[in-house]
Structure 1
Amino acid sequence: MAEGTSLVSVVIVDDHAMFRRGVRAELESAGRGRVSILAEAADVDEAVAAVSEHRPDVVLLDVHLPGGGGVEVMRRVTASGAVPETRYLALSVSDAAEDVIGTIRGGARGYVTKTITGPELVQAIGRVAEGDAVFSPRLAGFVLDAFSGSIDVAAVDEDLDRLTEREREVMRLIARGYAYKEVAKELFISIKTVETHMSSVLRKLQLSSRHELTRWASDRRLL
């Protein structure tokens, strides 16, 4: 698709309605004449249906979604064979190495964080539509490290597979230095539940303290 010759059609996939509205508003403002938003979706099932129906050029895809996550959306759409020409750009609050690498391995052409500006996002969408790979600078380093062998992706995946989704969230916040009370507030759970998850994380990873957890997470580029 030559730039400027036609609109890039987009489907926005995110489980937070307020965020979807914000992205739509940014794209309609910064991308006027360049981007056309065809539909929105809040979970895996809605996303698969929307992509199959509208056949967009680009899907703006959140990593963590009800029903299996962004990778599951790509897997199911690809398995259907319905829209092989659609490209995926991950747009996520997460900048963790395992999310970036896992999403790229799942088929995304790029990965940017939600701190991106409207004009930058329009540019990223256009580049992905053209077939380029687009990453925020720090995230590109994760991908390069994974391919160069600096990050043992298989080992990271194996370790994280032991943890539930909630345990991963607790692990990452604790490793970043959050207090139990702050984690509870961030995840809308009780302090007792945070303590239970933390005990489970340490046991599954065979670690003895939050200091060891922080070092473990840092070594694997998960912070």
Structure 2
Amino acid sequence: MLTSEQYQQRMQRRKEAQAQRVAQASKQKGLIIVNTGNGKGKTTASLGMVLRSLGHGYRVAIVQFIKGAWEPAEKTAFQHWTIATNGKPPQLEFYAMGEGFTWDTQDRERDIAKAQEAWAKSLEFILNPDFQLVLLDEVNVALKLGYLDIQEILAGLEQKPVDSHIILTGRGAPKALIERADLVTEMTLVKHPFREQGIKAQPGIEF
């Protein structure tokens, strides 16, 4: 066990090392962020960034690629920012795929058309310099299922304004997207209350 003096010295070294890293991090640019993996929390983590951006007064756009991926409670929580005030546009724009594809759909052609429609809308937001953050929720699933072309997505991301951030969520993010991204987080499922204990989904946690 460390003595109080040894502990203080160790913490001081860590503090100095961290301060040096911060001082050297002089670059600033918009990020491409990927939240993927089989564990829970991909969209939830992204919503934290959305909330933080809204708190800074930034304009944010969210495009939902899967029907029903958002619960009413989440929409209610963000409703305040979706209303235009004092002649200014809403701080938050939300776009759902309409009918969209679901997990058990049997109409692949319709699903492809809807996914491409959502991507076209996403690109409008991405190219618009008024939006500092654009969240493409569950777009990775559309890529994994072959509804969208990864090269087209990558080309669109390259056109974003230099200071805007793009978040792409969903399982199975393609390798090419992971390689292009600036920040990638993979959610790993270790335990789940439904799987291990048969505990049903609960408000405030799953919806």
- Report the TM-score, using the length of structure 2 for normalisation: 0.37
Higher radius of gyration, 1 or 2: 2
- Structure with the larger helix share: 1
Which gives a bigger RCO, structure 1 or 2 (Cα 8 Å, sep 6+)? 2
- Report the TM-score, using the length of structure 1 for normalisation: 0.35
- Structure with the larger strand share: 2
